[in-house]
Amino acid sequence: MNPNTQNFQNPQNPQNSPNTQNIQNTQNIQNTPNSQSNQSSQSSQSSSPLTFLPQHGHYRHLRVYKVTEIIYDITYYFTQHYLQKGDRTVDQMVQAARSGKQNIAEGNQAAATSSETEIKLTNVAKASLEELLDDYEDYLRVRDMQQWSNLHPRYDKMRQYARSQQIITDYGQTIRRMNDEEIANLCITLIHQASFMLHKLLITMQNRFVTEGGIKERMFQSRINYRNNLKNQNPQNPQIIQNNQTIQNSQNPQNPQNPLKR
């Protein structure tokens, strides 16, 4: 039996995030009013019609980002130890691994103002990983090495290790005990898992856009809500009545009172 079999251990149970208590404490602080005026202010802010920028979690908390970061680090190690200097494949593999990681980060940060950019960059990340997958498969094939299938005796343990929390902390030490065939197969497994997670993420983005719309729709609706709130607070204000009439006219090009119509 290959002594490296022990590298692929069963996944450990994930620990509770240390940020959970901090988040709960923050929520408790926010929910604790200092005075009656603060309660009113917080209530109005929570239902504010001006809120149109969606709130997203940070990309570093995404499992798929953590996996692509591991893929990049392993790929860099792999190219430095098993490919010759000056080989164009080195730069291509490293750049493909980097693109898979960086486009997830950039897409996540662009999501607040552009659903289209978020979707495009996430798909670029997926495409870059597919390119890297081909490079690893080519490496094994041209060197007559085995690409492990589900029939390989070590396949299941390697797959479990790739899905575990353990790999996030000890992959740097693990790959130093592995040969090039083992590292390539580990990276192939990680790429398959990352591609699947990105596919699911793209479906989620698609559904969110269909149900919530894009930034322009949310901005326009927030503006309408704001004016409606003003009207409800003081319906006799002539300036509010005039502004509401202007908005209605701009939405109806057939209205002869439309001031934008020539």
Pair 93, 79: CB distance under 8 Å? yes
Provide the residue range defining the domain that includes 224: 214-262
Statement to judge: residues 108 and 149 lie in one domain: yes
Statement to judge: residues 125 and 240 lie in one domain: no
What local confidence, expressed as pLDDT, does residue 84 receive? Answer: 92
Statement to judge: residues 108 and 208 lie in one domain: yes
Statement to judge: residues 187 and 73 lie in one domain: yes
Q: How far apart are CA 162 and CA 15, in angstroms?
A: 17
pTM across the whole model: 0.64
Statement to judge: residues 191 and 246 lie in one domain: no
In this structure, is residue 33 part of a structural domain? no
Statement to judge: residues 128 and 241 lie in one domain: no
What local confidence, expressed as pLDDT, does residue 23 receive? Answer: 37
In this structure, is residue 252 part of a structural domain? yes
What local confidence, expressed as pLDDT, does residue 24 receive? Answer: 44
Pair 181, 55: CB distance under 8 Å? no
What local confidence, expressed as pLDDT, does residue 94 receive? Answer: 97
Residues 5-64 have pLDDT tens digits of 444 544 444 444 444 444 344 344 344 434 333 443 343 333 344 565 666 667 888 999
Cβ-Cβ contacts under 8 Å for 105 (sequence gap 6 or more)? 59, 60, 65
In this structure, is residue 12 part of a structural domain? no
In this structure, is residue 32 part of a structural domain? no
Statement to judge: residues 228 and 133 lie in one domain: no
Statement to judge: residues 129 and 157 lie in one domain: yes
Statement to judge: residues 107 and 193 lie in one domain: yes
Statement to judge: residues 75 and 131 lie in one domain: yes
In this structure, is residue 1 part of a structural domain? no
- Tell me which of 178, 197, 213 is where a domain ends: 213
- Tell me which of 213, 232, 253 is where a domain ends: 213
CATH number at residue 119: 1.20.1440.60
From first to last of the 262 residues of the chain, give the pLDDT tens digit: 444 444 454 444 444 444 444 434 434 434 443 433 344 334 333 334 456 566 666 788 899 999 999 999 999 999 999 999 889 999 999 999 999 999 999 988 877 677 788 899 999 999 999 999 999 999 999 999 999 999 999 999 999 999 999 999 999 999 999 999 999 999 999 999 999 999 999 998 888 877 776 666 767 666 777 777 877 776 665 565 566 566 566 556 555 554 444 4
Statement to judge: residues 138 and 259 lie in one domain: no
Statement to judge: residues 239 and 207 lie in one domain: no
In this structure, is residue 10 part of a structural domain? no
Q: How far apart are CA 122 and CA 96, in angstroms?
A: 14
Pair 98, 66: CB distance under 8 Å? no
What local confidence, expressed as pLDDT, does residue 228 receive? Answer: 77
What local confidence, expressed as pLDDT, does residue 193 receive? Answer: 96
Three-state DSSP state, 137? helix
In this structure, is residue 37 part of a structural domain? no
What local confidence, expressed as pLDDT, does residue 235 receive? Answer: 60
In this structure, is residue 9 part of a structural domain? no
Number of domains in the chain: 2
Q: How far apart are CA 94 and CA 102, in angstroms?
A: 12
Packed helices 238-251 and 215-233: angle between N→C axes, nearest 10 degrees: 150
